[in-house]
Structure 1
Amino acid sequence: MSTTDLAPALRGAGLRVTRPRLAVLGLLQENPHADAAQVVALARRRADGISVQGVYDVLSVLCGAGLVRRIQPAHAVARYELDLGDNHHHVVCRSCDVLVDVPCAVGSAPCLDPAPALSVGFDVDEAEVIYWGLCPDCRPDPSAARMSTTTKEKV
């Protein structure tokens, strides 16, 4: 979705085009995976006069309309991104909380088979894959670990 597509995207979702909505969509386009505090700070700079509650209301409306996706990794703050329908997953660093897009595990939707949930009466409308690990910046340097074990004093 390009910057020029933001207003038509709002109209296409049956929403009025407002400065706060355009501000939030635009900043998420430039800052994917922003958390709520980042969205509030950036949106308040773009849409002068918007309140903190106003930003949360806009996020809620945009998520409900399917224009924005809320990503809620376990034990981490919620992040937001434009919902482009591009079928990707996320990987989160356990150390620094960086969140990165990764391609779909199987290449196409659905990535997960909802049959087990359907068999117990659930109506599944979403499935999410989040990988967890250490990013390259947080992962210990294997050569440093080898050096520390070879330079330790023997007792």
Structure 2
Amino acid sequence: MADDLADRLRGSGYRLTPQRQLILGAVEQLGHATPDEVLAAVREQASAVNASTVYRTLEVLEELGLVRHAHLSDRAPTYHSTRGPEHFHLVCRNCDRVQSVDPDVASALLEALRREHRFEVDLGHLAIFGRCTDCPPPSGDTA
């Protein structure tokens, strides 16, 4: 992680700082995390890091292609590392569980969008909202 981060930062005119290392490490450890969740994780190791540093660093890390964000709720964006395989997200509106899904699951849809609409989907930002089948139906719902 540190070598890749250092190379990308230097290649774009940035310095490698302990805060940047901590923030990328927190995103990778947390999986999917809002800036506030990243801040809380980083503050466990370096209490002097503030929210504006986290937000600025996440922007830099995204610019460098080391993290991506998706909107998995109506609140702040959620960041995840690009080290893992590409994926899209299923978000349960009932229990807030987020599942990462392999793009092959949506290959027919992606191909139809490409062919019929001349549109390439940016999967890392895709979130499909619904309800886990394990969650109870909303009250008044008979389905």
- In the superposition, the TM-score normalised over structure 2's length comes to 0.74
8 Å CA contact retained: 2:43, 2:49: yes
Aligned-pair Cα RMSD in Å = 3.1
**Structure 1 unaligned runs (5+)?**
1-5, 119-123, 146-155
8 Å CA contact retained: 1:95, 1:138: yes
CA 125–103 in structure 1, closer or farther in 2 if over 3 Å, else same: closer
Give the Cα separation in 2 of the matches to 1:129 and 1:78: 12
Give the Cα separation in 2 of the matches to 1:113 and 1:49: 47
Give the Cα separation in 2 of the matches to 1:79 and 1:73: 6
Higher share in helix: 2
CA 112–65 in structure 1, closer or farther in 2 if over 3 Å, else same: farther
**Aligned residues, how many?**
131
**Structure 2 unaligned runs (5+)?**
none
Percent sequence identity is 31
Aligned to 1:132: 129
Moved more, 82-91 or 23-32: 82-91
Matches for 1:5-84 after TM superposition, within 5 Å: 6-13=1-8, 14=11, 15-73=14-72, 75-84=74-83
* Cα-to-partner distance string for 1:104-133 (whole Å, 9 max, x where unaligned): 1229x8895287467xxxxx7935432221
Pair member with larger Rg: 1
Instruction: Give the ranges of 4+ consecutive aligned residues of structure 1 lying more than 6 Å apart after TM superposition.
Output: none
CA 112–30 in structure 1, closer or farther in 2 if over 3 Å, else same: farther
- In the superposition, the TM-score normalised over structure 1's length comes to 0.69
Moved more, 7-16 or 48-57: 7-16
